[in-house]
Structure 1
């Protein structure tokens, strides 16, 4: 009451406060970080280790297992997974929610330091990293024009340093680059002639290529640093390296080898739109604004393009900020459309531009105030937080409508403008505060929800809460003040009948007759309500469930895998066929970027039989088909290409929620798991709706085992390590030092000519040099056995594991999971082997469980708030009867629109728990007010219904119609909020009807019960 009086008496002070808040909000929105989704903090750490050219079995036994064993004791770890493949190991640690990952990483580093000495000498130092979905590149830029070597040098010297200096850019990596090296091509004939070994040459190169500080010497008053300079200055220096033969003669390196300045043989190829290119991938800093960084990079591209040769071209291949901009733009449009619809509804009811303006002002003020609160709480401006504003558009004006309606009622009774504003606002301010508080408290339990659901929707909850708090303050301060100044003419009736007023009179009269009817047939009303709820529950099997609705982000990924052991050249030929097939879809494809080879991890391992396309489609508004439809058509087209396994899938943007279906097979033996995986894949592929079934169990890699006979080797004075070293030099080369030139550093690599290590015959005929300088064939001391070896080995929690994954098309996730589990339960798993469901299916079950608990807690809090407001336990209980009917609207809405129950829909149900009681609060509160004035119960109910119908309809329609643009999923990225909007629209709409008729009936039953109890006590 004091706040209302103060705002009406001191309008200038209130206006200045509002202007200050608006200014603060404008400044805040300019500084808010813009992104697609809220920041997702996944507590996952990674330990990556290389073990040069070691087979997966050796990597698992010598590297992965010791690392797993060490990190498993770190506090807070829930799951440890490892992947061992040729030459590399990857260990992932997933921590429990709430764990301080910074401290956990320190603990992991400490454990790794303890076990590092147990790893093989040739194993690289373990790299410990924090995994985050934000580590995806913001943008890819292609460099085309010259040969790859020149483009690589240009990228290293100019482009990478330039882009790394741009604000917000964390790092820039180069893909498809050529690495320069100094090749020392050994002549086996001359090596044999001079009795030289590769080991001797390596030692000589190391000893001749050194620069070191050796102390200081005095010169007058100064100390001069002494530095022996001995590094190679030119290729001729390398050629002139002196070698001493076993016979004591001195020769030069070029006597037994050719020195060649060349490039390392590449294991990968990068193509953009079918043409070779070098590609820069740019990562942003964690707290940087994605859109701002992308804009900065684009302006940098235009700037640096003027300083590079004319025949070199830079082009942005994929820009992840494009979808963000389109999504933000579509949500803003939905906010504007919702605001316009809400204002139109107000104008229709209030028949006054000034009255509409008074309430409409609460929308921009609430939004701008929300931006300020978002900035100070560290929230980002993203699709979900803006979606919260779009959802709150209609609710923002609810409090102002109720206040203004009551002010109008006092004015019609003959009160002055000042008295109408103060008395009308003060009378219903407690009810308005209560109804807003009930909406706010439903979000409190979301704090206890864990996982991705919490990371995504806590910001949405905060945004809606901020907007409602701001609109409530406006309703009890600004609306009474403006009403006292602007609405003198608006509140006068000149005898003219407004068509909508006549319509509302008929609606009011019809509602009064209906209300009298349900009060007469109370049992029938209760029965119809129960029947409607029961009937809606029968729709549950037809609705289904999913985790989070997929957005049409216009990105596809095509994976091409030829037979294991295929050469890079063969994989390139298959990729060319894929590109030819994709040319039919050039109208829908904006750009495509393919990486052939390069390994599975990105930091090691051979993947010459693999290629991955990243395809960016044109915006959804410019194509006739959805991304899913194009994916299915393209997948069907590419399956006709022989000699490769090809899969097409949709890509997500900036958020990785895992595969919809992920089956984890566990057991003690890798071989049995591989066989079991084939059976499981066949069963899963037969389920309707399953798309693109994949297994981490890969086909065996052709492998030649070389078993060295240690006794025979010892007869020639050789150890196993010496034999291994010579084989390695022959077939992969050996780095013997570094050569520096003009600021660049490159390897000096000892190798034999390529024609000497191409066939099995070359291996068998290879000459091994003994300690005496003579040579023997390798087959003298080794046995060869050809077989297939695993390409990768997987473990989880120190036990072998395999993953079966798939996407889904045309069905809901819950339905597919149910069918998959039925299939798997019919399989007879060997003893000791089992399966578990992971991926989105597991996240969905966990999130639904947490949200169900949050819903129960929310309902309790709503009741508690009303009990405090009414100082009574009975009236809040009556009001709670408006909730069960919400089930009818929610299930009917999802069924009619064909949407599945998802996390956004569940959030909508929780919001409804606080929204649907608002109408009942206003109705019951006014019934009590009339009864305190001495009016009979029956007349009080009918009169309260008639007088409160108008504000109830206004608040309900503004909320519902304000969400219609969001429910229609207009624009890019709106699919995420669509279930939330549909749930609220149908839930609130149906519940309002039941509230208007059911709550008065329940009120009479409990009033009769109270009267009986009172009579008995007397």
Structure 2
């Protein structure tokens, strides 16, 4: 090849090119960003709409359904879901993969704008946004001090604006703390006496709290702006607001209302390590990097030195720490894998110089890969770095083959330069073809759709980049270095004679084994089939899962109090829970408690809910895993009566939802609720199911007010006027705002607290008519107490109820099968169905996509070999090395007790391109010897032992390079462990069968080919 000759003739040029590539690689490495997993770009849009004060049923009927109807006709819509809560609606649309979400969002906005007039009065403008299931807070910072009000002011006025200016930060939310407001508790009787109503009071407050420009006047040579100031400065200004009654009397606000400065009613309380605090949660921008953004926040925290005495700020949770630790662990696994590969080379090559020549291909290939990753927009994450660790042994395969051939010509008396030229040029085409079979298996992964493709395409690209770089090194740098360094290589001296004697014994044993299998061919085939059948019998015992969980050390404890529990009672209960959690303080780094606010980030939240986010100490400082800590905490907290407490492990990686989710669909919510109760009861006894809960479990008591429109009309009242007065009385209405010392204070009109506490207060509430008279609410409305849902779900415009559960102690696939078996015993009414969602659904879809990718990968490998051999028969023989991989794959997963998962599936696809390389080397050399005149039997007996050495070298370097990942050294290695184990066991066992089975298969097909040829010759004759 011209490239080989050029590299040998121009060594200085090669060195300069390599140096330039290394320099560019180091620059690229510095600019590559870190992340835990590759970004998963799912085409999901969400429409969020507020409807203050409305119950979930009203939100669904008046907001969610109209929005669903408007967007249901958009092309490529895959799933349409809605979630209606008290005061808010969330409509989620998932489109087909490959859809241009930017243009689709424009279509969604246009459709929503067309129904704007159909939405009820009081509903906010719908907000159309991208939805990212991974968009969780990347950092949580606690602000501690003595005064909750002061902490709230510091957070709102100084910290939030400061942090939101940092690069990568999208928004900062505040939990806990207290905010001042002015409450105007009106006296309805006095208002009626003066002929005033709530709207007139609100109008007076708004108009009195204004400043205006009144033109200009001249003063000498200057123009002075005239400004009339009338804005409120204090609560006393609010009290002195002038009201004009219908009879012309002028009164002040404090004559008809109790005006006081107090704290805004809150349904959210935050604590850090048991102490009251204000907690800041940081969301990153969609295109921002987690680690860089977290570093920017941490630097900003250090630079912010304006906190008052007694106020401190500390990091509660930082998801970037696990990312950095995981990347660091994989980096050291790469180093260890490289060391193991170098030791194998030293053992076989018996030369430091020869080992150095090949060993140089590893760092050059890795650093070159960083350059390609940078220019293709990839990030350094657990999977891409794992790809480098997995490919560390394969990077030297091409170089080994080239070097051995160069040395062979050197030993035959050729000069160093001629040996490098001829040896490299002779095998370069075969090396390129062999590397191509490994590369083509990744094409189907890259071009398939779904979460599996988005997760493992970066890994596939990384390994491909590394192999391409190592291939380029093998045909350029290796010949050049060989022509300069291998002057005394492969001389038989030193203490390594023992290994040569050992290899001689291995060759003899292998030759005897070959003679035996060639003599008893049927027995060899039967034994192979028996091994494959036995391995297939192990498959049901292995189980399946989606992605292996990582020990991130984060735990969530959810506390669900009885429906409608006041926030004070919820906080009293959490004090008991906190004491129980403190029993594990030796393994807990920090605890963040949020009381109230609800499980979701939309709506008004719930005072009967609380959640703990617990960060454990580093794994090296504790003797239990996160999962074991979850089980212990669950056992401890199960003894605390009075609430439903659920303990689960937090995984901030993929945001794929609950492991098990049973989606119940049908036309009636009441029937679905009954079915969900039955499903929860049935599956709770399934082994591995933990904390099953229904989306209807959060139902809470509510008071329904059914306004009689005809009676209301008799008093001159409309339905909307009645509702407005009830909302103002019990929830209040903000009439105006004013600034005081940099703070913006709300002025809220509301009934006195003693008049809005009990059901009797609601029933006896007075409604003011347009004439000024007061009538009891019960006169024009019926009041009924019911148990209403907190959240109403719909999918594809049909009601839905979900039952979710965690999986503990078993694999996801086995638990899913048992859940399906239980559900098959349940008689569903006509029109009602169920489906399994959550991670189980993601796993099913991903396995389906990868199965298709595997089929195409095998086809591409065969096609590449057919082109290489210019023959259809020999590639078919070589493909018989693939079935034997089942023995290694199932055996490896069974021995290590790891379930079959997405990484393991990707390992099988990689094996399709790796295991055939050994068979290619063996079959190709058999054909070469037969063309030289060897008998078939002698050709096999000679080719096998002569090719055993390079086969062992390439297999051992690949296998030992993956051992650190297979052992699972360090945090974050869990994601690659099944992949590494699949390749190690699959390649090892397949290599054994390749060396013995492929010669047998070769003889059978050769006999068949001879018979067919003989048959056609007779027909011709």
Per-residue deviation at 1:554?
1.1
Residue number in structure 1 paired with 2:848: 849
Residue number in structure 1 paired with 2:148: 148
Cα distance in 1 for residues equivalent to 2:126 and 2:217: 41
- The correspondence of residues 277-296 of structure 1 with structure 2, limited to 5 A, is 277-296=277-296
Residue number in structure 1 paired with 2:55: 55
Per-residue deviation at 1:475?
1.0
Cα distance in 1 for residues equivalent to 2:465 and 2:585: 46
Cα distance in 1 for residues equivalent to 2:701 and 2:516: 83
Deviations 1:303-331 (A, max 9, x none): 21x22112110000000011101111111
Contact in 1 for aligned 2:450/2:849 (Cα 8 Å): no
Contact in 2 for aligned 1:175/1:270 (Cα 8 Å): yes
Q: Does 1:752 align with 2:751?
A: yes
Contact in 1 for aligned 2:133/2:656 (Cα 8 Å): no
1:648 counterpart SS class = strand
Residue number in structure 1 paired with 2:10: 10
Residue number in structure 1 paired with 2:300: 300
1:539 counterpart SS class = helix
2:664 counterpart SS class = strand
In structure 2, the CA distance between the partners of 1:780 and 1:432, relative to structure 1 (3 Å rule), is same
Q: Does 1:208 align with 2:208?
A: yes
Q: Does 1:950 align with 2:949?
A: yes
Task: Report the more deviating stretch, 981-990 or 405-414.
Answer: 405-414
Residue number in structure 2 paired with 1:73: 73
Per-residue deviation at 1:423?
1.7
1:277 counterpart SS class = strand
Residue number in structure 2 paired with 1:350: 349
- The correspondence of residues 894-933 of structure 1 with structure 2, limited to 5 A, is 894-933=893-932
Residue number in structure 2 paired with 1:541: 540
1:988 counterpart SS class = helix
Residue number in structure 2 paired with 1:833: 832
5+ residue gaps, structure 2, are none
In structure 2, the CA distance between the partners of 1:625 and 1:231, relative to structure 1 (3 Å rule), is same
Deviations 1:703-743 (A, max 9, x none): 22333444444444444433333332221112112223455
Deviations 1:629-665 (A, max 9, x none): 1111111111111111111111112321222111110
In structure 2, the CA distance between the partners of 1:951 and 1:106, relative to structure 1 (3 Å rule), is same
Residue number in structure 1 paired with 2:158: 158
2:26 counterpart SS class = helix
Cα distance in 2 for residues equivalent to 1:735 and 1:584: 45
Cα distance in 2 for residues equivalent to 1:224 and 1:804: 69
- The correspondence of residues 679-828 of structure 1 with structure 2, limited to 5 A, is 679-828=678-827
Per-residue deviation at 1:679?
0.5
Residue number in structure 2 paired with 1:569: 568
Contact in 2 for aligned 1:449/1:847 (Cα 8 Å): no
Task: Report the more deviating stretch, 495-504 or 646-655.
Answer: 495-504
Per-residue deviation at 1:578?
1.0
TM-score by length of 2: 0.97
2:392 counterpart SS class = helix
Task: Report the more deviating stretch, 624-633 or 765-774.
Answer: 765-774
1:430 counterpart SS class = helix
Cα distance in 2 for residues equivalent to 1:494 and 1:731: 95
In structure 2, the CA distance between the partners of 1:705 and 1:289, relative to structure 1 (3 Å rule), is closer
Per-residue deviation at 1:606?
3.4
Q: Does 1:871 align with 2:870?
A: yes
Contact in 2 for aligned 1:406/1:425 (Cα 8 Å): yes
Q: Does 1:261 align with 2:261?
A: yes
Task: Report the more deviating stretch, 523-532 or 459-468.
Answer: 523-532
- The correspondence of residues 17-166 of structure 1 with structure 2, limited to 5 A, is 17-166=17-166
Residue number in structure 2 paired with 1:367: 366
Cα distance in 2 for residues equivalent to 1:455 and 1:623: 35
- The correspondence of residues 322-721 of structure 1 with structure 2, limited to 5 A, is 322-493=321-492, 498-721=497-720
Contact in 1 for aligned 2:76/2:95 (Cα 8 Å): yes
Residue number in structure 2 paired with 1:969: 968
Deviations 1:665-718 (A, max 9, x none): 001000110011111111111211111111101254222233344444444444
1:963 counterpart SS class = helix
Deviations 1:772-830 (A, max 9, x none): 43434333433332222222211111111001111111222221111111111111111
In structure 2, the CA distance between the partners of 1:778 and 1:1005, relative to structure 1 (3 Å rule), is closer
Cα distance in 2 for residues equivalent to 1:722 and 1:419: 99
Cα distance in 2 for residues equivalent to 1:681 and 1:631: 21
Cα distance in 2 for residues equivalent to 1:922 and 1:709: 88
Contact in 1 for aligned 2:452/2:849 (Cα 8 Å): no
Contact in 1 for aligned 2:730/2:756 (Cα 8 Å): yes
Residue number in structure 2 paired with 1:885: 884
Per-residue deviation at 1:766?
2.8
5+ residue gaps, structure 1, are none
1:607 counterpart SS class = coil
Deviations 1:525-545 (A, max 9, x none): 222212221221111111121
Deviations 1:598-649 (A, max 9, x none): 1343232231000111111112222111111111111111111111111111
Cα distance in 2 for residues equivalent to 1:685 and 1:824: 12
Per-residue deviation at 1:83?
1.4
1:587 counterpart SS class = coil
Cα distance in 2 for residues equivalent to 1:213 and 1:453: 62
Cα distance in 2 for residues equivalent to 1:943 and 1:779: 102
Cα distance in 2 for residues equivalent to 1:10 and 1:611: 71
Contact in 1 for aligned 2:214/2:227 (Cα 8 Å): yes
Per-residue deviation at 1:78?
1.1
Deviations 1:241-295 (A, max 9, x none): 2112232211111222233333211111011111111011122233333222222
Per-residue deviation at 1:32?
0.5
In structure 2, the CA distance between the partners of 1:714 and 1:657, relative to structure 1 (3 Å rule), is closer
Residue number in structure 2 paired with 1:248: 248
Deviations 1:893-931 (A, max 9, x none): 111111111111111101000000111111122222223
Cα distance in 1 for residues equivalent to 2:898 and 2:265: 52
Contact in 1 for aligned 2:442/2:460 (Cα 8 Å): yes
Task: Report the more deviating stretch, 749-758 or 14-23.
Answer: 749-758
Task: Report the more deviating stretch, 609-618 or 460-469.
Answer: 609-618
Per-residue deviation at 1:496?
7.5
Cα distance in 2 for residues equivalent to 1:337 and 1:567: 57
Contact in 2 for aligned 1:431/1:921 (Cα 8 Å): no
Cα distance in 1 for residues equivalent to 2:862 and 2:362: 28
1:726 counterpart SS class = helix
Contact in 2 for aligned 1:133/1:654 (Cα 8 Å): no
Cα distance in 2 for residues equivalent to 1:76 and 1:327: 38
1:975 counterpart SS class = helix
1:151 counterpart SS class = helix
Contact in 2 for aligned 1:698/1:792 (Cα 8 Å): no
Per-residue deviation at 1:831?
1.2
2:933 counterpart SS class = coil
2:266 counterpart SS class = coil
Cα distance in 1 for residues equivalent to 2:290 and 2:712: 61
Q: Does 1:271 align with 2:232?
A: no
Cα distance in 2 for residues equivalent to 1:241 and 1:583: 52
Contact in 1 for aligned 2:181/2:745 (Cα 8 Å): yes
Residue number in structure 2 paired with 1:168: 168
Contact in 1 for aligned 2:169/2:284 (Cα 8 Å): yes
Cα distance in 2 for residues equivalent to 1:599 and 1:176: 13
Per-residue deviation at 1:346?
0.8
Contact in 1 for aligned 2:357/2:482 (Cα 8 Å): yes
1:135 counterpart SS class = coil
In structure 2, the CA distance between the partners of 1:113 and 1:746, relative to structure 1 (3 Å rule), is farther
Per-residue deviation at 1:171?
2.1
Cα distance in 1 for residues equivalent to 2:1015 and 2:719: 101
Cα distance in 1 for residues equivalent to 2:780 and 2:850: 67
